[in-house]
Amino acid sequence: MRLSRRAALLIAAVLAAATTLVSAPSSPVAWTLETVKLVRSGDVARGKKLHEDCASCHGEAGNVDIPDVPDLGGQDPLYTYKQLADYKVGTRASSIMTEAVKALSDRDMADLAAFYAAQQKPPRPVGAAPASNAAVFQLVSVGDGPRLIPACDACHGDRGAGNPRFYGMPALQNQKIQDLVVQMRAFRSGERGNDVYRVMRDVSKRLSDSEIAALAAYYSGAPVSEAPAASPTRP
Residue 9: what residue type?
L
Task: Provide the pLDDT for residue 167.
Answer: 94
Q: Under a CB-based contact definition with an 8 Å cutoff, are residues 135 and 214 in contact?
A: yes
Task: Provide the pLDDT for residue 79.
Answer: 97
To the nearest 10°, report the CA torsion of 160, 165, 169, 173: 20
Residues 6+ apart with CB under 8 A from 202: 148
Q: Which of 97, 68, 57, 92 is nearest to 168 (CA)?
A: 92
- Identify the structural domains of the chain with CATH numbers, from first to last: 33-117 (1.10.760.10), 134-221 (1.10.760.10)
Task: Provide the pLDDT for residue 1.
Answer: 47
How far CA 109 is from CA of 35, 37, 88, 97, 99, in Å, comes to 11, 13, 10, 13, 14
Q: Which run of H or of E encompasses 144? A: strand 143-144
The radius of gyration computed from the CA coordinates of the chain, to the nearest angstrom, equals 20
Residue by residue, DSSP assigns 82-139 as HHHHHHHHTSS--HHHHHHHTT--HHHHHHHHHHHHTSPPPPPPTTPPP---HHHHHH
| Mean pLDDT, the chain cut into blocks of 10 residues (235 residues total) | 45 40 73 97 98 94 90 97 97 94 97 97 66 82 95 94 93 93 96 94 96 91 44 36
pTM: 0.81
Helices 106-117 and 33-40 sit at what angle, rounded to 10 degrees?
50
